Chains A and B, each alone.
Chain A
């Protein structure tokens, strides 16, 4: 139940997106193909926040860039407000991207150090020929107010004169300058101290209400993603393992990887993490990912079938989809059948 009306027509529809990169060895010889994103599909409805969680190498950032068409995905469709972005070129792509903005992890890396804050925020307005000089100046002040920075104090500053939290607010002001309908946040608060992080999260939450924004919120921190998202998707080695309403994914994770991620979140209950069973080993290389289910090499429930067949996405509860041959179904729903069953409930 959300207090805001969510229209059934998806704002963004991602279908079977594939992104690969060729790795060159010394001398330029083809070394292998990194299968960064392998057939990912999801929708984002207007007014909704979808969180994507995954570890380094899960492909979550590559996916975000593929949605922005920077670079374009190798295959698959990215339909935004009814238009397939992959078919757009030049000015028409630029126009479509007005409504699709992004905020990255490192605010200093994304702000030109030689520009003043006011020019940084005005840049998208200039690029899209929005208003005259006076109108743009007014809009910059408005935007600085919106993100909680006093225009009189901050408009003339350079990025190096800002703290991390202030710089990220400037990046957010620039991102919302053109009234986008979707904001992609890729680890947007991950580098901030926890108190500043909470301030920026509250700002994003406020903008959601005031501007009617939708978010694609990408982070490695499951608790953070869960806290801001209506729905949560979990990625592992280029594929989506599980997607569903945040509460449902958190209360009843169906994929063993999601379970492991949940167990790895430090708890504020003393000593809690010490008894938790976390997964062993390291993610395999995305150049030659495991056959079948990509998580099988680290999965406590893996059996022969997991190596042979890629598990198809199956909807187990309303909107809660998992790609796993042996999902973690609770004991009431499926009686304990084998030695592996019920493992998820062991503390």
Chain B
């Protein structure tokens, strides 16, 4: 039996489905060299959920698009991304297309804009099935209904014939997930897939994704700006800032009453999340400023200009991401202790 099909064996041997190493993405914009991703490494195993967290422009989406081969021409991608041992970086578009859909698929934030408004949703799912496999029209149709059922859309036979505008945001996102699952990918990347949805719908879609992940033994990468979502649903967490990973640990280690966040940026993100247990009119601990310009990164720690405890070394020398405690990496000269606030 393939070790990747058995999550317990995979966990035992530490076999990763996707291994990303020293990934770098750069492109030229307005005559300037923009370094969007600067040496990112992570791995994700079947049956596990990895959350990649960061603000707009932190490089979280660009990293995943680089893995998927979905970046525009002219983008320079270096480093390595191996899916089941096969290198993805440097593949041609047609080679990558074989992996996309079959091995890996992506769900995006805005289902309204990703779906074709003039085409029945069932036909769009059937089209996704036929895009990757040589099946007859009637077979594709049957599979599409099955996929709609898989993503828990009620009355899939009837919904098959509806147009996107007839569905709610949550239902449209289910259709997008059905399309992504058309070829039973081993890796599903959800890019802010629940951000545009209401809280109760968001909870439903996250539950669905986790159920499907268990059913299909997929690896799931969720890209989000919401650390709360990561705490609730992810096994492992990567926090990105200015194109780099600044903290990386299992969710259980980072969050909760005995959480052990070390990097000050993660701490700031965590403290900024609205919380039910705060009394009204609480003044929040905030960090000022904005992330650095990716075309002019500062010499030291990229977070230093905004950090509450910046020292001289922070401004001159960049801290490496290192494993200080087993399974827990952070990049900070002066990490916070439990209970610290910035």
Contacts and interface: CB of A to CB of B under 8 A. Distances in A.
B179 interface: no
A270 B251 contact: yes
B276 A205 contact: no
B280 A261 contact: no
Contacts of A194: 55, 225-227, 269, 272-273
A270 B286 contact: no
B200 A278 contact: yes
A197 B255 CA distance: 21
A273 B257 contact: no
Interface stretch (B31-39, B181-189, B203-211, B308-316): B203-211
Given A193-B225, A267-B232, A223 B274 contact: yes
A198 B284 contact: yes
Contacts of B298: none
Interface stretch (A68-76, A226-234, A337-345): A226-234
Contacts of B55: 193-195
Interface in B282-310: 282-288, 290
A224 interface: yes
A228 B136 CA distance: 57
Contacts of A269: 231-232, 255-257
A195 B286 contact: yes
B281 interface: yes
A222 B199 contact: yes
A250 B276 contact: yes
A228 B199 contact: no
B114 interface: no
Nearest to B230: A266
Interface stretch (B139-147, B167-175, B330-338): B167-175
A99 interface: no
Given A56-B169, A268-B231, A273-B203, A227 B278 contact: yes
Given A205-B281, A268-B270, A199 B288 contact: yes
Q: Is the interface of A mostly helix, strand, loop or mixed?
A: helix
A246 B274 CA distance: 14
B275 interface: yes
B168 A278 contact: no
Nearest to B237: A270
Nearest to B234: A270
Contacts of B270: 268
Contact of A271 (B232, B269, B278): B232
Interface residues of B, number: 52
B268 interface: yes
Nearest to A194: B272
A307 interface: no
- Of A55, A220, A246, A273, most buried by chain B (CB within 10 Å of CB) is A273
Contact of A223 (B204, B232, B275, B288): B275
Given A195-B287, A202-B286, A268 B227 contact: yes
A270 B256 contact: yes
B328 interface: no
B272 A268 contact: no
Given A208-B281, A222-B199, A260-B200, A266 B226 contact: yes
Interface string B251-278: 1101111010000000011111111101
B198 A220 contact: yes
Nearest to B268: A195
A223 B231 CA distance: 16
A112 B203 CA distance: 36
B156 interface: no
A279 interface: yes
Nearest to A206: B283
A264 interface: yes
B116 interface: no
A282 B284 contact: no
B228 interface: yes
B28 to A, nearest CB: 22
B75 interface: no
Nearest to B284: A198
B233 interface: yes
B284 A261 contact: no
Contacts of B78: none
Nearest to B199: A264
A267 B227 CA distance: 9
A208 B282 CA distance: 12
A273 B222 CA distance: 16
Contacts of A123: none
A172 to B, nearest CB: 16
A94 to B, nearest CB: 32
Given A229-B280, A270-B255, A198 B232 contact: no
B321 interface: no
Interface in A184-226: 193-195, 197-199, 201-202, 205-206, 208, 220-224, 226
B232 A199 contact: no
Contact of B276 (A195, A222, A271, A273): A222
Interface string A246-286: 11001000000000111111111111111010111011000
Contacts of A282: 168, 170-171, 201
A274 B210 contact: yes
12 contacts: A163-B290, A193-B55, A197-B272, A264-B202, A265-B228, A269-B232, A269-B257, A273-B206, A274-B232, A278-B200, A280-B204, A282-B170
Interface of A: 2, 49, 55-56, 163, 193-195, 197-199, 201-202, 205-206, 208, 220-224, 226-230, 246-247, 250, 260-274, 276, 278-280, 282-283
Given A201-B284, A268-B255, 7 more contacts: A195-B287, A198-B284, A198-B286, A205-B281, A228-B280, A250-B276, A261-B200
A-B pairs, top 10 by smallest CB distance, nearest first, are A273-B232, A266-B228, A55-B198, A224-B274, A198-B272, A223-B274, A264-B203, A266-B232, A264-B199, A198-B284
